[in-house]
Amino acid sequence: MGKNNRARYGAIFALLAVALMVFALSGCGSDPTQEPAPAPTATTAPADTGQAESPAPAPAATPTPAPADTGQAESPAPAPAATPTPVPAGAPTQAPSETGPAMQESEFAGHFDDEPVTIVVGSAPGGGYDLLARTIARFAPQHLPGEPRRFQIRNVSGGGGLRAWETLLRSDADGRTILTLNINLIRQVLLGREVSGLDLNTLPLIGAPTRVSDPYLICADRHKYSSWDDLLADGSVTIAGGTGGRVPMGAHFVELVGGPMKTIPGYEGSTETLAAFERGELEASTCIQRRDPRLLPELVEDMRWLPLFWWNTRPNQEWLDTLGAPEPYHIYDLPGVDFQDWQKTAFNATVEYNDFLRMYVVHPDTPPGLVQVWRDSYQAVIEDPGFIEAAGIAGYDVGFGSPDDFGQVIDDLLSLPPEGLELVLRLSGIN
């Protein structure tokens, strides 16, 4: 190597080294502990939760919709990251007396003050699990005892939620790490899979954020059909679904018992689905008042939606009047579709079970008192009006699902006959 070249290489290395250092130091500009500005005021009407929950994360190269639109598939974005979420400056810290039983407060007051609280999320940033966790992280500091300094989100994808569960197991059982459990892992356990440390009977659940009684409604394209009888005559009406979400699940159920619905997996999100419906690619869609008309108002203006059937809760009359005739059926009253009792039981169990999507758990060895603190605090978060509004913008209708209720749901599932459990799994998108 000549002297000149050596000098040049030296200059290049120096440049590289400086670039690396600048790069490294500039990264520090985003100090995660810095005090952030107050949260912006919501400007839009609350949205609905997703069309469906993904049975497992989709392959990495597939684009994923934002959960405001769907929640059908968790984000498979290629770069999961553990990123800190700062506590809003000036956020009112609720007095311990408002968060839980007095004894637990005094015992655990200050427990969360010094160390950050980590929420482990088993999927990549930007997906449904992640967005809801970040919204919870914004409001949780106000409801935990003491003055928690910060929350951080840790995205650990892999193994359909298994890696995230293992991360929780490896953490200290001190309540400073909580996990938003991937529903698929529960499904796999129901299928008989052994998951280390995961026992459905002793699952250390602190609550679920999306237990609601939404009115779920399916509509057909009025340009193609004028009544349910038309659909029966056609025999096969296409609708996005079949991947386990709670919103199109009714259509999937009708299909599985031989009704005139044909669910098509592959669509990712309500926006994509509604866009396909609008251009005539699909013949039916969900038509839920809180979400769908907001995403594509033209569908209401053009009177495209022909109400067909509902389940869970009856849609309000104002919405049905807007959609126009005919009056939709309750799913079990659909003419020409024969539901057996065990099928209805399985469907009801699945509806209940799907309310516990995105449940939150702590380490199985966490002291009972600390678990109770978390349950009380978590419930307070879910019922916080600010959280409800923020979650609405993020696309979720929220409601507290208690651990006791979940125990009942699991009992119901496990008491189903084998064909009933199989139906539950198929409705959940597991084939």
Partner 1 sequence: MRWRNLRTYWLSTEVLGELLLIALAFALFGYLFVLSFDWPEAARLLPRIAVIIGVPFGLVRLVVLLRRVRPSAASVMDTSFRIEGQDPRAIAGRFVRIWTWLLALYLGIWMLGFHFALPVGTFIYLFRYGKAGWVWSVGLSVAIYATIKLVYDVALDAVWFDAVIPQWLGLV
Partner 2 sequence: MLEAAISAAQNLFSPGPLIGMAIVLPVALASGLIPAGGLPTTSVVLSFAGYIDPWIAMSIVVFSMAAGDITEPVPAILLGVPGARSAQATVLDGYPMAQRGLAGEALGASYTTTLVGGLFGGAVLLAVLPVGRELLKLFGSSEFFLLSLMGILAIAIISAGAFVKGMLTAAFGIAIASIGFTNVGGVVRADMGIDFLWEGFGIVPIVIGLFAIPEAMDLVIGDTPVARERLDTMMKEANKDVLRGMKVALSHKWLMLRSSIIGTFVGAMPGVGGATGHWIAYVQARQTEKGAVDTFGKGDIRGVIAADAANNSSDGGVLIPTLVFGIPGAPGMVLVLAILILSGITPGPPMLSTHLDLTIAMVYIIILANIIVVPIMLLLAPYLARVSAVPPNILAPIVIAVTTLAAYQASRILEDLLVVLAFAVLGVFMKRYGWPRPPILIAVALAPTLERFMWITVNTYGFGLFLRVQSLVLIAMMIALVYMALRVQSVASESAHTAVPDRPGSKVSEESIEDPS
- Using alpha carbons, list the distances in angstroms from residue 386 to 41, 210, 382, 399: 10, 15, 9, 13
Identify residues 362-421 at the interface with partner 2 (CB under 8 A). Answer: 390, 393-395
Between 16 and 233, name the residue whose CB sits nearer to partner 2.
16
CB of 264 to partner 1, least distance (A): 9
The answer to whether the beta carbons of residues 219 and 289 sit under 8 Å apart is no
**Beta partners for residue 208, in sequence order:** 401
Residues in 256-285 at the binding interface with partner 1, rule: CB under 8 A: 265
User: Which of 15, 16, 325, 414: binder of partner 1 (CB under 8 A)?
Assistant: 16
Count of residues binding partner 2 (CB under 8 A)?
105
Sequential DSSP letters for 165-200 = HHHHHHS-SSSSEEEEE-HHHHHHHHTT---TT--T
Please state whether 388 falls in left (phi above 0), alpha (psi between -120 and 50) or beta. alpha
Report the partner that residue 282 touches, choosing among partner 1, partner 2, none (CB closer than 5 to 8 A by kind). Answer: partner 2
Contact code string over 105-124 relative to partner 1, x by CB under 8 A: --------------------
The 3-state DSSP class for residue 269 equals coil
Q: Say whether residue 196 binds partner 1 (CB under 8 A).
A: no
Which among 82-90, 97-105, 122-130, 181-189 is the span making contact with partner 1, rule CB under 8 A? 82-90
Q: How many CA atoms lie within 13 A of 396 on its CB side?
A: 31
DSSP 8-class letter at 202: S
Q: Which residues have C-beta within 8 Å of that of residue 173, sequence separation ≥ 6?
A: 362, 363, 364, 365, 366, 367
Phi, psi of 154 (to 5 degrees): -120, 110
Identify residues 237-256 at the interface with partner 2 (CB under 8 A).
238, 242-244
- Binders of partner 1 among residues 19 to 38 (CB under 8 A) are 20-21, 23-25, 27-30, 32
DSSP 32-56: TTSPPPPPPPP-S------S---SS
Nearest CA-CA partner of 362 in 189, 136, 205? 205
Rounded least distance, CB 389 to partner 2, Å = 9
Interaction partner, residue 125 (partner 1, partner 2, none; CB < 5-8 Å by kind)? partner 2
- Select the binding partner of residue 131 from partner 2, partner 1, none (C-beta < 5 to 8 A, by kind): partner 2
By CB under 8 A, residue 109 contacts partner 2? no
| Spatial separation of the C-alpha atoms in residues 249 and 351, rounded to whole Å | 8
Residues 2-41 that bind partner 2 (CB under 8 A): 5, 8-9, 12-13, 15-16, 19-20, 22-23, 26-27, 29-30, 32, 36-41
Point out which residues bind partner 1 (CB under 8 A): 10, 13, 16-17, 20-21, 23-25, 27-30, 32, 81-84, 152, 154, 156, 167, 170, 265, 431
